[in-house]
Amino acid sequence: MKKGINFIDCLDIDLALSILMRLDNPADLVRASVVSQSWHHFVIANRLSKQLCLRMFPQIADLDQIVGPNNGKTSVNVESSNPMEWEILERDHKVYASLVRALTESKDNPKDCIACVIGASSTDREPEESVVNTLFPIDRYMWGGSYWSSKGQSNPDAAETLTYKLSADVCAVTEIDIRPFEVYWEPGSPVYSAKSVRFRMGHLKSPRKNEIDFWHFPLQQPANDKFLWSYTSPEFPMTQENHLQQFKLPEPVLCIGGCLQIELLGRAQREEIDGLFYICVCYVRVLGRPLSPAFVLQKSGELQLKYNPESFSFILKSSSHEEMGTVEPEEEAPWEHVCQLENLLQIQNIPDHPFVWNDDED
């Protein structure tokens, strides 16, 4: 360093790449790209920002392409000296550096990202035990419990799934929280939890169908063959306790397509009357950050992620300036959650259960 030797110029390209690819912080890589003109050229020409992004968030590999500003596609011959293609390389560098920064900073000030319910693999009694109830951080209404219940199974290893649509097609997800339901009217108030959970994220197989309307009513037994899952989490053990259980993902996950599925694996509690095993959940929360409007999934025959640089500073400010602190489950539920519940009750017309809110439930 005292002699001011530029090691990139002294080493062969493979060794220089091996050194710089050990940078695992996007800010460090951006700093490296402005050390000198030769470092700038080396980082951009070898697409180190893209390689770092793919290493940290392999879900990006499922994208057909990322579209930069002015609809420029990030596809270019690296060996070319064409000024236009070098401009595309520089744009490519900015897009991936911005994406990896947004993802790494998504751990700060997370918010609930669930927009609505897509469906459940089974429901014991509709609509009283609908999966829509899991959108609300309460365990009872004035007419009874607020929870989702699976159908009963004689096999304690039988799994169930709950599927949700997130608030944006591109979200960084950091944590999923689940509260099993305590059946307070049964002797001993048993908790009908799963034995473990696993999470999957992805999109509908046809990108054009991402605009399907899930708001009016949750689907019964949504077909898993309609989804492509780009991420599957490790399996997390669940305790048979009636509290909000937090499942932090090892790293933030880029959910491309805005679909998240909870796999409830195994059944911990048998119902005394019919002798069958059930799973009951009263609340689900998905924490993270929506990355729109800076990154938007384009609806076309391919999965394209469009980068809008003018909106990038907005999502960074919203992430750093919102004084969210610890996210409490008692926060006011988004209006779209309330609308989906109201729609459910009005469509089903529950007998002997008038749809009337009391003062505490307004």
Mean pLDDT of 16-28: 84
Q: Do the Cβ atoms of 96 and 247 come closer than 8 Å?
A: no
Higher-pLDDT residue of 18 and 238 is 238
Q: Would the pLDDT of 357 be above 60?
A: no
Please state which of the ranges 63-67, 282-286, 292-296, 307-311 shows the lowest mean pLDDT: 63-67
Q: What pLDDT does residue 291 have?
A: 86
- The mean pLDDT of 292-299, rounded to a whole number, is 78
pLDDT computed for residue 354 by the predictor:
47
Q: Which of 119, 116, 344 is nearest to 221 (CA)?
A: 119
Say if CB 263 and CB 150 are below 8 A apart. Answer: no
Mean pLDDT for all residues in the chain: 80
Structure tokens at 314: 């907005």
pTM for the model: 0.78
Q: Could you tell me the pLDDT band of residue 330, with boundaries at 50, 70 and 90? A: very low
In the chain, how long is the greatest CA-to-CA distance?
A: 86
**2-6, 47-51, 97-101, 358-362: range with highest mean pLDDT:** 47-51
pLDDT band at 75 (very low <50, low <70, confident <90, very high): very low
* Number of neighbours of residue 272 by Cβ within 10 angstroms: 10
Which pLDDT tens digit goes with each residue over 121-178? Answer: 999 988 889 999 999 998 887 768 999 999 999 999 999 999 999 998 889 999 999 9
